[in-house]
Amino acid sequence: MKRVLKDQNISVIDGYLGEREFGLFTEAVQFTEYTPMHGKAWVKAYGVPGGPIFESALVVRGHKTTTPPTLGHVGRLMDRFTEPASPLAALFQDGTTAEDHYLTGRIVLFGRGAGLRWHADASEQIGAYIYYCHPQWHTTWGGELMVMDGSSVLGQGLSAAETNSFRKAATDSPGSVVGPDYECDGAETRRADIGTGRFVMAKPDRLVVLTGTAEHRVAPVTAAAGDHLRCAVTGFVVRKRAN
Protein backbone atom coordinates (compact mmCIF):
# COMPACT_ATOMS: atom_id res chain seq x y z
CA MET A 1 0.00 0.00 0.00
CA LYS A 2 1.47 3.33 -1.09
CA ARG A 3 0.08 6.88 -0.97
CA VAL A 4 0.86 8.50 -4.33
CA LEU A 5 -1.08 11.78 -4.04
CA LYS A 6 -2.56 13.99 -1.35
CA ASP A 7 -3.84 17.57 -1.44
CA GLN A 8 -6.76 19.54 0.01
CA ASN A 9 -9.33 17.67 -2.10
CA ILE A 10 -8.05 14.20 -2.79
CA SER A 11 -5.94 11.33 -1.49
CA VAL A 12 -4.81 8.44 -3.73
CA ILE A 13 -3.48 5.10 -2.44
CA ASP A 14 -2.20 2.31 -4.71
CA GLY A 15 -2.06 -1.38 -3.88
CA TYR A 16 -4.73 -1.00 -1.21
CA LEU A 17 -5.60 -4.70 -0.87
CA GLY A 18 -2.45 -6.23 -2.30
CA GLU A 19 -2.10 -8.78 -5.10
CA ARG A 20 -3.65 -11.85 -3.45
CA GLU A 21 -6.65 -10.16 -1.82
CA PHE A 22 -7.25 -8.04 -4.90
CA GLY A 23 -7.41 -11.15 -7.06
CA LEU A 24 -10.02 -12.68 -4.77
CA PHE A 25 -11.99 -9.44 -4.76
CA THR A 26 -12.08 -9.10 -8.55
CA GLU A 27 -13.23 -12.72 -8.82
CA ALA A 28 -16.11 -11.98 -6.45
CA VAL A 29 -17.02 -8.87 -8.47
CA GLN A 30 -17.74 -11.10 -11.48
CA PHE A 31 -20.39 -13.06 -9.55
CA THR A 32 -22.08 -10.07 -7.91
CA GLU A 33 -25.66 -9.29 -8.92
CA TYR A 34 -26.24 -5.98 -10.75
CA THR A 35 -29.17 -3.97 -12.06
CA PRO A 36 -29.24 -1.12 -14.63
CA MET A 37 -28.75 2.22 -12.87
CA HIS A 38 -31.35 3.94 -15.05
CA GLY A 39 -33.71 0.95 -15.01
CA LYS A 40 -36.43 2.54 -12.86
CA ALA A 41 -35.49 6.23 -12.90
CA TRP A 42 -33.10 8.65 -14.57
CA VAL A 43 -30.19 9.34 -12.19
CA LYS A 44 -29.51 12.86 -13.46
CA ALA A 45 -26.01 13.32 -12.04
CA TYR A 46 -24.86 10.81 -14.64
CA GLY A 47 -26.25 12.83 -17.53
CA VAL A 48 -28.70 11.69 -20.19
CA PRO A 49 -28.75 7.86 -20.22
CA GLY A 50 -26.29 6.71 -22.85
CA GLY A 51 -23.52 4.22 -22.16
CA PRO A 52 -24.53 1.29 -19.94
CA ILE A 53 -24.19 1.72 -16.17
CA PHE A 54 -24.94 -1.10 -13.73
CA GLU A 55 -24.92 -1.10 -9.93
CA SER A 56 -25.04 -3.55 -7.05
CA ALA A 57 -27.23 -3.25 -3.98
CA LEU A 58 -26.12 -0.84 -1.24
CA VAL A 59 -23.90 -1.85 1.70
CA VAL A 60 -23.94 0.29 4.87
CA ARG A 61 -21.60 0.59 7.85
CA GLY A 62 -21.50 2.97 10.82
CA HIS A 63 -24.52 3.65 13.00
CA LYS A 64 -26.24 0.78 11.18
CA THR A 65 -24.97 -2.25 9.27
CA THR A 66 -26.48 -3.72 6.10
CA THR A 67 -24.86 -6.35 3.86
CA PRO A 68 -27.16 -7.68 1.09
CA PRO A 69 -26.63 -11.19 -0.32
CA THR A 70 -23.64 -11.61 -2.70
CA LEU A 71 -21.96 -8.48 -1.26
CA GLY A 72 -19.92 -9.92 1.58
CA HIS A 73 -16.72 -8.92 -0.25
CA VAL A 74 -17.86 -5.28 -0.34
CA GLY A 75 -18.86 -5.47 3.31
CA ARG A 76 -15.40 -6.72 4.30
CA LEU A 77 -13.78 -3.91 2.31
CA MET A 78 -15.98 -1.35 4.07
CA ASP A 79 -15.13 -2.88 7.45
CA ARG A 80 -11.53 -1.90 6.68
CA PHE A 81 -12.67 1.62 5.90
CA THR A 82 -14.17 1.97 9.40
CA GLU A 83 -10.92 1.07 11.18
CA PRO A 84 -9.00 3.85 13.02
CA ALA A 85 -6.07 3.63 10.57
CA SER A 86 -8.33 3.76 7.51
CA PRO A 87 -7.59 6.35 4.80
CA LEU A 88 -11.21 7.48 5.29
CA ALA A 89 -10.82 8.11 9.03
CA ALA A 90 -10.02 11.81 8.57
CA LEU A 91 -13.43 12.34 6.96
CA PHE A 92 -15.33 11.28 10.07
CA GLN A 93 -15.98 13.66 12.93
CA ASP A 94 -15.95 12.40 16.54
CA GLY A 95 -14.63 8.96 15.64
CA THR A 96 -14.50 6.67 12.66
CA THR A 97 -17.90 5.06 13.22
CA ALA A 98 -19.50 7.81 15.29
CA GLU A 99 -23.24 7.66 15.82
CA ASP A 100 -23.80 10.74 13.68
CA HIS A 101 -22.26 9.18 10.56
CA TYR A 102 -22.59 6.20 8.31
CA LEU A 103 -20.63 4.81 5.37
CA THR A 104 -22.26 3.61 2.15
CA GLY A 105 -20.84 1.54 -0.67
CA ARG A 106 -21.85 -0.29 -3.84
CA ILE A 107 -20.15 -1.54 -6.99
CA VAL A 108 -20.80 0.59 -10.08
CA LEU A 109 -19.94 -0.62 -13.60
CA PHE A 110 -19.42 1.80 -16.51
CA GLY A 111 -19.55 0.55 -20.09
CA ARG A 112 -18.44 2.35 -23.26
CA GLY A 113 -19.68 5.94 -23.35
CA ALA A 114 -20.69 6.04 -19.67
CA GLY A 115 -19.42 8.83 -17.43
CA LEU A 116 -20.42 11.22 -14.66
CA ARG A 117 -20.94 14.95 -15.17
CA TRP A 118 -19.37 17.76 -13.13
CA HIS A 119 -20.85 18.01 -9.66
CA ALA A 120 -20.13 18.40 -5.96
CA ASP A 121 -21.77 16.04 -3.50
CA ALA A 122 -24.84 16.84 -1.41
CA SER A 123 -24.37 18.79 1.80
CA GLU A 124 -24.85 15.79 4.12
CA GLN A 125 -22.14 13.84 2.25
CA ILE A 126 -18.90 14.96 3.89
CA GLY A 127 -16.62 12.73 1.85
CA ALA A 128 -16.54 10.07 -0.85
CA TYR A 129 -14.32 7.23 -2.01
CA ILE A 130 -13.68 5.18 -5.14
CA TYR A 131 -11.96 1.79 -5.11
CA TYR A 132 -11.12 0.45 -8.60
CA CYS A 133 -11.70 -3.30 -8.79
CA HIS A 134 -11.38 -4.23 -12.47
CA PRO A 135 -8.47 -6.65 -13.09
CA GLN A 136 -6.91 -4.41 -15.78
CA TRP A 137 -7.40 -0.93 -17.22
CA HIS A 138 -5.48 0.57 -20.15
CA THR A 139 -4.66 4.26 -20.31
CA THR A 140 -6.61 4.65 -23.58
CA TRP A 141 -9.86 3.33 -22.08
CA GLY A 142 -10.91 6.61 -20.42
CA GLY A 143 -12.94 6.67 -17.21
CA GLU A 144 -10.52 9.05 -15.45
CA LEU A 145 -11.65 10.84 -12.31
CA MET A 146 -11.35 14.59 -12.92
CA VAL A 147 -11.08 16.91 -9.87
CA MET A 148 -11.37 20.69 -10.12
CA ASP A 149 -8.78 22.85 -8.37
CA GLY A 150 -9.97 24.57 -5.19
CA SER A 151 -13.02 23.80 -3.08
CA SER A 152 -16.56 24.28 -4.29
CA VAL A 153 -18.43 27.41 -3.21
CA LEU A 154 -21.74 26.78 -4.92
CA GLY A 155 -24.03 28.54 -2.49
CA GLN A 156 -27.65 28.90 -3.54
CA GLY A 157 -29.59 25.96 -4.89
CA LEU A 158 -33.12 24.62 -4.73
CA SER A 159 -35.38 25.46 -1.82
CA ALA A 160 -35.73 22.94 0.99
CA ALA A 161 -39.31 22.22 -0.10
CA GLU A 162 -38.18 21.48 -3.65
CA THR A 163 -35.47 19.09 -2.50
CA ASN A 164 -37.55 17.11 -0.03
CA SER A 165 -38.63 14.69 -2.76
CA PHE A 166 -35.05 13.49 -3.27
CA ARG A 167 -33.82 14.09 0.29
CA LYS A 168 -31.24 16.79 -0.33
CA ALA A 169 -30.65 19.35 2.41
CA ALA A 170 -30.73 22.68 0.60
CA THR A 171 -29.14 25.83 1.99
CA ASP A 172 -27.96 29.15 0.60
CA SER A 173 -25.09 29.59 3.09
CA PRO A 174 -21.58 30.09 1.63
CA GLY A 175 -19.88 26.87 0.64
CA SER A 176 -23.05 24.78 0.65
CA VAL A 177 -23.47 22.02 -1.90
CA VAL A 178 -26.85 21.16 -3.38
CA GLY A 179 -26.82 18.16 -5.69
CA PRO A 180 -25.47 18.18 -9.25
CA ASP A 181 -25.13 21.41 -11.21
CA TYR A 182 -27.15 21.63 -14.44
CA GLU A 183 -25.23 24.60 -15.84
CA CYS A 184 -27.87 27.06 -14.67
CA ASP A 185 -26.07 28.74 -11.75
CA GLY A 186 -22.66 30.14 -10.84
CA ALA A 187 -20.87 26.79 -10.70
CA GLU A 188 -20.41 26.58 -14.47
CA THR A 189 -18.93 30.08 -14.60
CA ARG A 190 -16.61 29.25 -11.69
CA ARG A 191 -15.33 26.08 -13.37
CA ALA A 192 -14.69 27.88 -16.63
CA ASP A 193 -12.82 30.66 -14.80
CA ILE A 194 -10.58 28.18 -12.93
CA GLY A 195 -10.04 25.85 -15.86
CA THR A 196 -7.49 23.61 -14.10
CA GLY A 197 -7.46 20.51 -11.95
CA ARG A 198 -6.17 16.95 -11.57
CA PHE A 199 -7.01 13.68 -13.24
CA VAL A 200 -6.66 10.22 -11.70
CA MET A 201 -6.57 7.11 -13.88
CA ALA A 202 -8.74 4.13 -12.96
CA LYS A 203 -5.78 1.98 -11.93
CA PRO A 204 -6.65 -1.46 -10.49
CA ASP A 205 -6.41 -1.80 -6.69
CA ARG A 206 -6.34 2.01 -6.33
CA LEU A 207 -8.30 3.80 -3.60
CA VAL A 208 -9.27 7.45 -4.04
CA VAL A 209 -10.70 9.52 -1.17
CA LEU A 210 -12.41 12.85 -1.89
CA THR A 211 -13.48 15.63 0.44
CA GLY A 212 -17.12 16.66 0.33
CA THR A 213 -16.37 20.02 -1.30
CA ALA A 214 -14.36 18.66 -4.24
CA GLU A 215 -16.05 19.27 -7.59
CA HIS A 216 -15.44 16.27 -9.82
CA ARG A 217 -16.56 14.25 -12.81
CA VAL A 218 -15.76 10.92 -14.46
CA ALA A 219 -14.61 11.07 -18.07
CA PRO A 220 -16.59 8.73 -20.36
CA VAL A 221 -15.22 5.26 -21.02
CA THR A 222 -13.87 5.23 -24.59
CA ALA A 223 -14.68 2.89 -27.47
CA ALA A 224 -11.17 1.44 -27.09
CA ALA A 225 -12.35 -0.29 -23.89
CA GLY A 226 -14.46 -2.68 -25.95
CA ASP A 227 -16.36 -5.01 -23.64
CA HIS A 228 -14.24 -4.08 -20.61
CA LEU A 229 -16.19 -2.40 -17.79
CA ARG A 230 -14.87 0.26 -15.45
CA CYS A 231 -15.58 -1.42 -12.10
CA ALA A 232 -15.41 0.51 -8.84
CA VAL A 233 -16.75 0.33 -5.31
CA THR A 234 -18.05 3.84 -4.64
CA GLY A 235 -19.65 5.39 -1.60
CA PHE A 236 -19.97 8.25 0.84
CA VAL A 237 -19.36 9.25 4.42
CA VAL A 238 -22.76 10.67 5.36
CA ARG A 239 -24.09 12.61 8.31
CA LYS A 240 -27.05 10.80 9.83
CA ARG A 241 -30.23 12.73 9.14
CA ALA A 242 -32.24 14.01 12.05
CA ASN A 243 -35.46 12.08 12.70
Q: What is the pLDDT of residues 215-228, one digit of tens each?
A: 889 999 999 999 99
Please report, for the chain, the start and end positions of each structural domain, with discontinuous segments joined by +: 2-102+115-197+212-238
Measured CA to CA, the distance from residue 186 to residue 176 in angstroms comes to 13
> Which pLDDT tens digit goes with each residue over 200-211?
999 999 999 998
Contact 152, 121 (CB under 8 A): no
Distance separating alpha carbons of residues 194 and 36, to the nearest angstrom: 35
- Taking only the tens place, the pLDDT of each residue in 71-126 is 999 999 999 998 888 888 777 665 555 566 788 999 999 999 999 888 777 666 78
- Distance, CA of 169 to CA of 134 (rounded, Å): 34
Q: What is the pairing mode between strands 145-148 and 197-200?
A: antiparallel
List phi, psi (to 5°) of 160: -60, -40
Residue 70 has pLDDT above 50, yes or no: yes
Query: Measured in whole angstroms, how far is the alpha carbon of residue 205 from the centre of its chain?
Result: 15
Tell me the whole-structure pTM to 2 decimals.
0.84
Q: What percent of the chain has pLDDT over 70?
A: 77
